[in-house]
Amino acid sequence: MESKILFSETQRFKQWWVWIILIGVNTLMFYSLYSQVIEEQQFGDKPATNTQLLIGTGISLLITVFVLSFQLDTKIKSDGIYVRLFPLQLSFRFFPWNNLSKCYVRKYNPIAEYGGWGFRLGLFGKGKAYNIAGDEGLQLEFNDNKKLLIGTQKPEKLSEVVNNFRLQ
């Protein structure tokens, strides 16, 4: 029997600075490729070969597609918490309620506590984190004292769902 979904959230990278970097790198790669291959003018003082430019442009496009496809999916169901950081994880990781000693929404510092965004290993016993943006997340503390933080852009709704479910 399928458990009822009490909360669902999908997040993607929306940081402007990430997109500025990706657009800038891709623009530079395409311009250099166009200048050297189409217009047959060497690009730079020590130009790369046409093959190297093609490979570099391909790699920059693959990185852009990878970042575009990145998403953090979180589902809260009556049987537990499901989380997936796609494309690093193709299937959801499941955390049943009975494996948790604590579960609450909190503010955190992504840089200081986890070293940034994505799938991160926390510093100084903070545990692991799945986060895409922002500074609020669902803190899971397990019966074996391990910790996992799942970032959220809907902290009020998530807190309400978790608190209501835990009171039942």
- What is the token pair recorded at 30? 């395409």
User: Is residue 7 scored above 70 in pLDDT?
Assistant: yes
Structure confidence at residue 168 as a pLDDT band (50, 70, 90) = very low
The pLDDT value given to residue 10: 94
H-helix or E-strand containing 64?
helix 50-69
CA atoms of 148 and 128, how far apart (whole Å):
5
Structure confidence at residue 165 as a pLDDT band (50, 70, 90) = low
Q: Give domain limits for the chain.
A: 5-10+76-167, 12-69
Q: Which tens digits make up the pLDDT trace of 48-57?
A: 888 888 999 9
Residue with tokens 């807190």: 159
Would you mind telling me the total number of residues written for the chain in this entry? 168
Please give the mean pLDDT across all residues of the chain. 87
- Of 73, 99, 95, 100, which Cα lies nearest the Cα of 86? 73
Those residues with Cβ within 8 angstroms of residue 152's Cβ, 6 or more apart along the chain or in another chain: 9, 11, 74, 105, 134, 136, 137, 138, 158
Contact, 113 vs 126, CB < 8 A? Answer: yes
Q: Which tens digits make up the pLDDT trace of 95-138?
A: 998 899 999 999 998 888 888 888 888 777 688 999 988 899 99
Query: What is the mean predicted confidence (pLDDT) over 159-168?
Result: 74
Those residues with Cβ within 8 angstroms of residue 9's Cβ, 6 or more apart along the chain or in another chain: 72, 73, 74, 152, 153, 154, 158
Query: What is the mean predicted confidence (pLDDT) over 62-80?
Result: 91
